[in-house]
Amino acid sequence: MRTNCRHFMKFGGFIFASVCAWYLGTLLAYLIPQDPLASTFDQLLPEKPKNYMPAPKRQKCHHWSPCLPGNYAYRIVSGGGKERFPQICFEDKLLLSKQEGNAGRGINIAIVDYNTGKVAAANYFDMWEGEFSKPMTDFINKAPQKSLIFIVTHDDGSTKLKEDGKKAIAELGSKEIRNLKFRSGWVFLAAKGFKLPENIQKEKIIHSDNSKNRYSGWPAEIQIEGCIPRNLTS
């Protein structure tokens, strides 16, 4: 009987001690803030490596991917509406734009020396008012051999464009110059005195269509871009 009583007292003591321990633990957890403990625990762990994603590198003329060494980068964007002026970018330099003050309504042209990559001349010719078709034709015909010729429209490039101008541009290789209509958007890259590779973008056109126009009376901008090898000989 005494033995059973002794076991009962031991068991009761164990229960009492367990309850006291649980109560003490609960009380301490309530009184001590968790953040310092978590912070201390985190400090004991090895620091996790931080992964930083580098910002994408800006490419010449806003290309998505860079041109290979030994190539010129170019990008031609037509005008949009009356306010969005055309741009001709070559080797990350704007040869013709509103910012440069040499872009305007009509047909915009930039001529680049192929051997040096330097701009030789840039101008625009109004094809809505005045008589600028002949000056434009002379400008094109005077381009030296081994020249890159970039041409782009803004607003309207067709109304006062004469046959001599169309012929000069067609002789450079344009397949769309005779399809140019009122307020068509058109971009064109040509080479004088040598031939460009077949696989690069050279020409694109879009016509004004009131059911599809992005701007009231004008189509959306169009563009061509690419890389021109620097070692072309013919």
pLDDT at 28: 52
Which residues of the chain carry a pLDDT beneath 70? 1-56
- pLDDT for position 36: 53
* Within-domain flag for 31: no
Could you tell me if residue 7 is inside a domain? no
| Domain membership flag for residue 35 | no
Question: Total domain count for the chain?
Answer: 1
Q: What pLDDT does 99 receive? A: 85
Range of the domain at 207: 61-229
Q: Is 16 a member of any domain?
A: no
Per-residue pLDDT at 26: 64
- DSSP secondary structure code for residue 17 in this structure: H
What's the pLDDT score for residue 214?
Answer: 81
Entry pTM = 0.75
Q: Does residue 39 form part of some domain?
A: no
Distance of alpha carbon 78 from alpha carbon 104, whole angstroms: 11
**What are the distances in angstroms from CA 50 to CA 39, 46, 47, 53, 219?**
18, 12, 9, 10, 47
Alpha-carbon distance 225 to 87, whole Å?
12
Does residue 2 form part of some domain? Answer: no
Q: What is the pLDDT of residue 101?
A: 87
- Measured in residues, the chain has a length of 234
Q: Is residue 117 part of a domain?
A: yes
So what's the pLDDT on residue 10?
A: 60
Confidence (pLDDT) at 100: 85
Rounded to whole angstroms, the maximal C-alpha distance in the chain is 129
Q: Is there a domain that residue 87 lies in?
A: yes
